[in-house]
Structure 1
């Protein structure tokens, strides 16, 4: 089954380059082989359940290691 996960890392920084907590989380998702869409308010990743679910702890670890104070995560079946 294909899943979609959307996550937002905080704190928001609107000026300049994206913060490390956002780019490191994206990098972890990319390294896991997920299809990624990076946006100004969050990141959407898609993949098979067997690929996506084990990648989520790595994404969260990367976000917090990059300085995130909070990560909001939603997971659903891909339409």
Structure 2
């Protein structure tokens, strides 16, 4: 079973993600995780430790780059 992290970074303008969205996406990539960037959010999946570490990196990167809100949902598949 994998842990799945779904996140959305605000403010978000469809077709023109700002630096705070890009920073969160880059923070999620790597570390043996599957990352899918979509029009309304990003989905990251992998083992528990890697996904939980990614959640921390994503939030920190987004806030440091100017995000006004980061919405996160964790689920097990």
Length-normalised TM-score, structure 1? 0.86
Count the aligned residue pairs: 77
- The C-alpha deviation readout for 1:15-41, integer Å capped at 9, x for no partner, is x53211111111111033321000111
Find runs of 4+ consecutive structure 1 residues off by over 3 angstroms.
none
1:54-76 deviation digits (Å, cap 9, x = unpaired): 22111100111121100010000
Unaligned 5+ runs, structure 2: none
1:45 partnered with 2:47: no
Tell me if 1:2 matches 2:2: yes
How many Å separate the matches in 1 of 2:24 and 2:4?
15
Counterpart position of 2:23: 24
Normalising by structure 2, we get a TM-score of 0.88
- Are 2:12 and 2:21, in contact at CA under 8 Å, matched by a contact in 1? no
Q: Does 1:75 align with 2:67?
A: no
